[in-house]
Amino acid sequence: MRKLTLTVAASVIASPALAASGPFFSLSNTDFVVLLAFLLFVGFLTYMKVPGLIGKKLDERADGIKSELDEARALREEAQTLLASYERKQKEVQDQADRIIAQAKEEATQAATEAKDEIKASIARRLQAAEDQIKSAEARAIRDVRDQAVNVAVAAARDVIAKQMTAAEGNTLIDNGISEVEAKLH
């Protein structure tokens, strides 16, 4: 209201109002008529409580802006909380990934150690199998050599006996051999 009074006073004191010719307070002076119309218009607006309505609308707009700012602050705080939560989750996931990697490295090391041990055991088994095969081959070779020696000795003995033995002696030996076999089988 004070601003309105100052505005009216400034209008009255203004130089254009004083520049008109003739008496100022007459209806023939257009400046005076305009001033009266303006004052009546301002008075009518004041009577209709337009400045209060404008003030009320401005206050409502200020309250709306304030509520929007409060809502924006709340949303910002919520966003910061969410950001902190996601950063915390990201750190937890990174820690979990690090643990998984460490566990995988440990398992790989253990698997490599087990594979080395298994390879050593396999090599030992194969060496033992090769040694067994070598021993078996040696025994077979010795047996083959003995069998061959026996065959040679039998053949030599047959040749010697065949040269020294007569038919009658051979028949006697055959009969003795048959009777020996009959005795052992029965």
Tell me, yes or no, if the pTM score tops 0.75: no
Task: With residue 45 as reference, give the H or E element that holds it.
Answer: helix 30-47
Distance of alpha carbon 162 from alpha carbon 81, whole angstroms: 117
Query: Can you give the three-state secondary structure of 102-170, one letter per residue?
Result: HHHHHHHHHHHHHHHHHHHHHHHHHHHHHHHHHHHHHHHHHHHHHHHHHHHHHHHHHHHHHHHCCHHHH
Chain centroid to CA 95: 11
In this structure, what is the dihedral angle of CA atoms 111, 116, 122, 124, given to the nearest 10 degrees? -150
Q: Which amino acid is at 50?
A: V
Residue with tokens 């998984």: 100
In this structure, what is the dihedral angle of CA atoms 56, 59, 63, 65, given to the nearest 10 degrees? 120
Residue-wise pLDDT for 39-88, tens only, equals 999 999 999 999 989 999 999 999 999 999 999 999 999 999 999 999 99
Instruction: Specify the range with the lowest mean pLDDT, choosing from 17-21, 36-40, 74-78, 171-175.
Output: 17-21
Tokens of 173: 């030996």
In this structure, what is the dihedral angle of CA atoms 56, 61, 64, 68, given to the nearest 10 degrees? -160
Band the pLDDT of 4: cuts 50, 70, 90: low
Q: Is the pLDDT of residue 6 over 70?
A: no
Residue-wise pLDDT for 91-139, tens only, equals 999 999 999 999 999 999 999 999 999 999 999 999 999 999 999 998 9
Break the chain into its structural domains and give their ranges.
27-134
